Amino acid sequence: MWSGWKFLGPCSLSQCSSSPTHPKMDQYDKLPPAFQKVIYDMIVDGYTATTWTNYLAVSGYALIAADYLHTLPDEIRLMWPSPWSFPKVVFFVLRYYIFPHHVLAAMYGQLVGLNPKQCYANFMRLGVSTAIVVVIAENYLVYSRLRLCGQRQEDGRVPHISIHRSSFVLLVRFLGTVKYTQLPFPNMTCMPVESNSNLLGGVFSMLLGSVIIVMGMMIYFVFTKHRNFNSALLTIFYRDGIFYFLAITVLASANIIVNFAAPTGYKFLFIQTEADIHTILATRMLLHLRAWAEREQVQVSGRSDGRGRGIGMGFSTTMHSRREPSPMKFEARRIAAPMDSFGTDTKVSEMYPMSSATSSMPKGLELYGNAV
């Protein structure tokens, strides 16, 4: 992180550790006073930057906990009774893995007195865990957008997977450039002394590119295929999706700017924040879609139990039971001429026309129970 540690000469710490003119950091007391002053100032600056980064990580944990408590009633009502599906699995993985992920963040940012090997091991675990959180949230985003748009999964997965493969290569190369050394003061948190932050900036640039591609696909579907659909659920779907993309775009752009232009001690400032926001937005978007889908069911049935739910919804076999459907089958309907109502000239088909909302529903939204 601190390329400034190279002030001791043109070589890195690992190359100069055995040179008499470039002593190790654990020989701090033997350095000239001028060198001690420079090293002391750099350690103070780095410790200040690391402290701010750790503060943001802890505040992110508090945000995750508050969001969990706030949305737990919706989770119990909307997610627990529903049948298992890919979106439901992703929802629970993101929602509950983020807590042990923050344990890894605390092990790296809050523990003191660790040696360089322990710091590097904790940093590797945290880096891989952060990548897992972001990739899972991104893949759910692509899956749900294409599923609800009625498109093939291959339409978005091929470019999405290609981008993530390239970003994973850059991430592995970046993790290989991170180095730690023994600091002259005890009881200090882990602070890397060397890394190639340009590689990390490339990772976030590819993440931003992936977000822009998916956003462009979604906007294309809005103006070419779903412009005339009159569905509140579809409106919520696109509105939440656009808000999600804008939030992730802002965070990815902030990380790109930080890694390419900010002082060396602040390279990791917004990484945990982006992982937390990814998780919160992905899980809240799924809960919001299911809540609106339930509301549309109530509006279609026209009945309510006084708590915003349909009277029969509490006994629905598809939402609250795993009972197998009835094997009873009915004879296929025959096509016949419209019947005339008794005593009038008005046909039944004219008295009860088919609902335009149902006929105009996109294919993916008709299966929202398994799609979102």
**Token pair recorded at residue 61:** 């944990």
Instruction: Give the separation between CA 41 and CA 118, rounded to whole angstroms.
Output: 25
HSE of 169, CA atoms in CB hemisphere, 13 A:
6
pLDDT at 332: 53
Cβ neighbours of residue 247 closer than 8 Å, sequence gap 6 or more: 277, 281
Q: How many C-beta atoms lie closer than 10 Å to residue 100's C-beta?
A: 10
* Alpha carbon distances (Å) from 318 to 11, 23, 76, 262, 337: 66, 70, 16, 53, 35
Dihedral, 134, 135, 136, 139 alpha carbons, nearest 10: 120
- Do 174 and 200 contact (CB within 8 A), yes or no? yes
From the list 201, 199, 200, 178, the residue with the least C-alpha distance to 190 is 178
- Cα distance between residue 200 and residue 67, in whole Å: 29
Give the relative orientation of helices 232-261 and 197-224 as an angle to the nearest 10 degrees: 160
Residues of the chain with pLDDT under 70: 1-28, 145-160, 226-234, 296-372
List pLDDT tens digits, range 80-120: 999 998 889 999 999 999 999 999 999 999 999 999 999 99
Question: What burial class does residue 167 get, using C-beta atoms within 10 Å of its C-beta: 0-12 exposed, 13-18 middle, 19+ buried?
Answer: buried
**CB-facing half-sphere around the CA of 323: CA atoms within 13 A:** 9
pTM: 0.73
Distance in angstroms (rounded) separating the CA atoms of residues 142 and 264 = 34
Distance (Å, whole) CA 118 – CA 97:
23
3-state SS class at 218: helix
Q: Which CATH number fits domain 3-300: 2.60.40, 3.30.310, 1.20.1070, 1.25.40?
A: 1.20.1070
119 residue type, one letter? C
Report domain extents, the chain.
Answer: 3-300
Strand, coil or helix: 346: coil
CA of residue 320 relative to chain centroid, distance: 29
